């Protein structure tokens, strides 16, 4: 009994966590990686029916179709396996960031994997605390990541996808959600956290978005430069976000 009380006391010293980190990319990874199986199964069912008496195809035509379908299936599943690996890597990145966030003080609450009704984005992490409300987008990319002249580069190669625009879009969507629920006005801070990537600086500001590595994340959230928000606003924000997890 004493050990249980001590364990509860230790837990109470750290941030409260809601939701499951990495769940969304895992589910999406499986769906996007293996949807070809459904198509292949449907087509195989059709071919089996055609192989029965009174079909529209000859047995040789059915055999050729089987071979062609098998080749297509192998190609699609190979592509799907690569996609799944990328999604699983993203999920591991979110879990890694969550482990870092849990060491925040008990004044902070962490929400993982929230998606607003009819919303466009899945939020990796939303952190609510005395230093403000933060939307954190996690990227588990390999290589040297740079932000040059409005472009994102990995190992010197430009990528078309902009995580800066992504996290800004998430913050805008969340701000609109708060507004529709008559929440008091406060700024939502945007953070782009890289798990294993090499950055030129451990903490930087890119077009209004804080870019950091995982080891600097807690410092970003607790900097004295952050605007403090009232405990009542924190509680209202937490209760509203909790309602999305019901």
**Are the C-beta atoms of residues 129 and 108 closer than 8 Å to each other?**
yes
DSSP state of 216: G
**Are the C-beta atoms of residues 107 and 222 closer than 8 Å to each other?**
no
Within the chain, strands assigned E span: 16-18, 109-115, 122-129, 132-139, 144-148, 151-154, 157-159, 188-194, 198-199, 203-206, 209-213
Within 84-231, strands assigned E span: 109-115, 122-129, 132-139, 144-148, 151-154, 157-159, 188-194, 198-199, 203-206, 209-213
**Are the C-beta atoms of residues 56 and 47 closer than 8 Å to each other?**
no
Sites in the chain below the pLDDT cut of 50: 2-10, 54
What is the pLDDT, as a whole number, of residue 76? 61
**Are the C-beta atoms of residues 102 and 17 closer than 8 Å to each other?**
yes
* Separation between Cα atoms, residue 47 and residue 59, nearest integer Å: 10
Residue 138, CA distances (Å) to 21, 203, 214 in order: 11, 14, 9
Structural domain spans, the chain: 13-243
Nearest to 209 by CA among 163, 145, 161: 163
Give the chain's count of helices (H) and strands (E): 6, 11
* Separation between Cα atoms, residue 155 and residue 145, nearest integer Å: 7
Query: What pLDDT, in 10s, does the model give residues 88-121?
Result: 788 888 999 999 999 999 999 999 999 998 889 9
What is the pLDDT, as a whole number, of residue 225? 66
**209-213 and 188-194 as β-strands: parallel, antiparallel, unpaired?**
parallel
* Separation between Cα atoms, residue 243 and residue 227, nearest integer Å: 25
How many CB atoms within 10 Å of residue 206?
A: 15
How many CB atoms within 10 Å of residue 15?
A: 20
């Amino acid at each position: 009994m004493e050990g249980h009380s001590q364990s509860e006391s230790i837990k109470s010293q750290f941030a409260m966590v809601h939701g499951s980190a990495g769940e969304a990319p895992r589910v999406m990874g499986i769906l996007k990686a293996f949807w070809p199986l459904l198509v292949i199964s449907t087509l195989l069912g059709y071919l089996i029916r055609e192989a029965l008496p009174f079909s529209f195809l000859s047995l040789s035509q059915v055999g050729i179709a089987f071979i062609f379908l098998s080749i297509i299936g192998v190609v699609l599943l190979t592509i799907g396996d690569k996609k799944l690996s990328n999604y699983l890597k993203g999920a591991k990145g979110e879990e890694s960031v969550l482990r870092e966030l849990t060491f925040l003080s008990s004044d902070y609450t962490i929400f993982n994997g929230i998606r607003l009704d009819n919303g466009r984005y899945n939020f990796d992490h939303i952190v609510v605390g005395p230093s403000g409300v933060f939307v954190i987008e996690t990227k588990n990319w390999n290589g040297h990541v740079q932000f040059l002249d409005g472009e994102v580069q990995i190992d010197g190669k430009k990528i078309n996808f902009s995580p800066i625009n992504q996290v800004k879009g998430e913050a805008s969507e969340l701000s609109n959600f708060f507004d529709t629920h008559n929440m008091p006005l406060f700024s939502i801070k945007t953070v782009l956290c890289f798990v294993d990537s090499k950055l030129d600086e451990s903490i930087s500001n890119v077009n209004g978005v804080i870019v950091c590595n995982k080891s600097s994340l807690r410092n970003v959230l607790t900097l004295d430069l952050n605007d403090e928000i009232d405990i009542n606003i924190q509680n209202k924000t937490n209760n509203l976000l909790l309602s999305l997890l019901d």
